[in-house]
């Protein structure tokens, strides 16, 4: 008997999934974060990311940039 395959809740598939993980951000902000180097990969026109990589990226970048950055 085959066991059902459970998708990892840490793997984010697609821009919508990533935007939702980030609190429901819009596509303009998503694009800006990509330009800033947010850790995602793209295969066949679809984005993929690991939730912990995004969280670690935010920790590192917000520590460096600081609160005086207005984008």
- The average pLDDT across 6-25 equals 94
Residue 43: domain span: 11-64
Task: Please tell me the total count of domains within the chain.
Answer: 1
pLDDT, tens digit (0-9, with 9 covering 90-100), for 34-67:
999 999 999 999 999 999 999 999 999 888 765 5
Q: Report the alpha-carbon distance of residue 4 to residue 33 in Å, rounded.
A: 35
* Residue 4 falls inside a structural domain: no
Query: What pLDDT does 70 receive?
Result: 56
* Residue 50 falls inside a structural domain: yes
* Residue 71 falls inside a structural domain: no
* Residue 2 falls inside a structural domain: no
On average, the pLDDT of the chain sits at 90
* Residue 53 falls inside a structural domain: yes
* Residue 43 falls inside a structural domain: yes
* Residue 19 falls inside a structural domain: yes
Query: What pLDDT does 35 receive?
Result: 96
What is the sign, positive or negative, of the torsion defined by CA atoms of 43, 48, 53, 59? positive
């Amino acid at each position: 008997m085959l066991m059902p395959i459970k998708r990892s809740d840490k793997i984010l598939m697609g821009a919508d999934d990533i935007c939702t993980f980030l609190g429901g951000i819009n596509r303009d902000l998503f694009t800006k974060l990509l330009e800033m180097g947010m850790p995602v990969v793209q295969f066949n026109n679809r984005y993929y990311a690991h939730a912990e990589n995004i969280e670690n990226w935010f920790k590192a970048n917000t520590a460096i940039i600081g609160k005086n950055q207005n984008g």
